Amino acid sequence: MMQLKTMNLKSISILIILGLAPVFVGAQKNKIDGVAVVVGKNVVLDSDIEKFKKEIETQSEGKIKITDCQMLEQLMDRKLLAHHAVVDSVTASKAEIDDRVKRTIDFFIRQHGGEKKAIEVYGFNDKEDLIKELERVQKEEILIEKEQQKITGDVDLTPEEVRLYFNGLKEKNELPEFPAEVELAQIVLKAEPTKEENERIIAKLNEIKKDVEENDASFRLKAIVNSNDPSVARNGGNLGTITKDTQFIKEFKEVAFSLDEGQISEPFKTIFGYHIILLHKIKGNGREVSHIVMKPEIEESKLNDAKEKLEQIRKDIIAGELTFDKAVNDHSQDDETKNSGGLILNPYTGESTFDLTRMDPALYGRINELKKGEFSEVFYDETRAGEKMYKLLYMRNRTNTHKADLVNDYVKVQKLALVKKKEETIAKWSKDKILETYVKIGSDYKKCTFKSNWKKENQ
Tell me, yes or no, if the pTM score tops 0.85: no
- Please give the tally of structural domains in the chain: 3
Looking at the domain assignment, is residue 459 inside a domain? Answer: no
Query: Is 453 within the bounds of a domain?
Result: no
The verdict on 334 and 242 lying in the same domain is: no
Task: Supply the pLDDT for residue 27.
Answer: 40
Widest CA span of the chain, in angstroms?
83
Within this chain, do residues 243 and 303 fall inside the same structural domain, yes or no?
no
C-beta contacts of 148-153 below 8 A and 24+ residues apart: 148/81, 148/422, 148/426, 150/88, 150/90, 151/425, 151/426, 151/429, 152/422, 152/425, 152/426
Q: 234 near 223, Cβ under 8 Å?
A: no
For residue 436, being part of any structural domain is answered with yes
CB atoms within 10 A of CB 393: 22
Angle (CA) 156 159 163, round 5°: 115
Verify that 221 and 248 share a domain, yes or no. yes
- Per-residue confidence (pLDDT) for residue 459, from 0 to 100: 56
Task: Annotate 32-46 with b (16+ C-beta within 10 A) or e (fewer).
Answer: eeeebbbbbebebbb
Among residues 260, 276, 294, the one where a domain terminates is 294
154/272 Cα distance (integer angstroms): 47
Task: Please say whether the beta carbons of 191 and 306 come within 8 A.
Answer: yes
Statement to judge: residues 331 and 422 lie in one domain: no
CATH of the domain at 187: 3.10.50.40
pLDDT at 88: 95
**Please, what is the Cα angle at 92 between 90 and 96, to 5 degrees?**
145
188 and 58 fall within a common domain: no
Full domain range(s) for residue 417 = 4-177+409-445
pLDDT at 16: 46
The stretches in the chain having pLDDT less than 50 are: 1-32
Of 294, 318, 333, which one is at a domain's C-terminal end?
294
